[in-house]
Structure 1
């Protein structure tokens, strides 16, 4: 409680992910939540930026590559957990008749997703055709294949970086051994030179 505080980078990132998850869950029902989340994150960012002047670094080393992968995984899981209940509510539940942006479509046989169908039906024919194509198998299959290839490429890239890291670590280890060997030879040479000088000095006396 006394002295400079330690800045917890991991906790700060988790707070941002939590705020983003709350925004994803609530923006379907309250249009102002994204704006409120933006203000919150903006205020928190500049507050923590100001407090960094009075904080000290973490004692534990921060490994950027591994932590970045972990944060991206947590963000992806948060998005899935936020999208699943919203998808269920949009596709299965009837809109509220008293409040909300979908109250105009409140009916016994209408769900919130029908508003998308009504909106698309009012578009021009070309836009309706494009939107209909986005929901077909002919669009999803190439996209899934492209995403799988992209994921495989980044996985290979990560494996290459790991191998390069191991090679560099091995080279650093060999360089350290070489330096130690050279220092030992220099020390032995200096000791032998000193012994020879002492021998010559004793012989001269």
Structure 2
């Protein structure tokens, strides 16, 4: 039976988003330490598309499943890990992409929720920090997802963040979410 489609972010309250995120249990990949078995022949492109042997993985439930066993190693490598095997996976930028955002409240009371390309829902805050890098091709915004894994914030979503930052009057320009302030300028 196919997985039900994810709920529409715009129709959910932030409390409902937080509840759904809390209910989404993940495997304990941080406690699995199998021997390294090789390369998965998989790649996550900068735009968030997952590939296997050069072909896009077209089934969203498969991508979602693989994303739950993704781990970042202390040396910075990305691996897919199960209790019995560990395989390298190439990640061009960040393993996830934040593709949609919902804002509620104003100023310090604001909360920002994000939907990832895998369907995961997160609320930015102390446990899911926003950070910004300046690169040759422009600003690159990220959202911490879990255990060293980040989501690149899609350009249209970044523009929504920038609009909030420019209209809220903060200096430096930034956004609040769950009581934490995130400056839109790159951190040194």
TM (norm. structure 2) is: 0.21
Structure whose CA Rg is larger? 1
TM (norm. structure 1) is: 0.20
Q: Which has the higher contact order (CA 8 A, sep 6+)?
A: 2
Structure with the higher fraction of residues in strand conformation: 2
Structure with the higher fraction of residues in helix conformation: 1
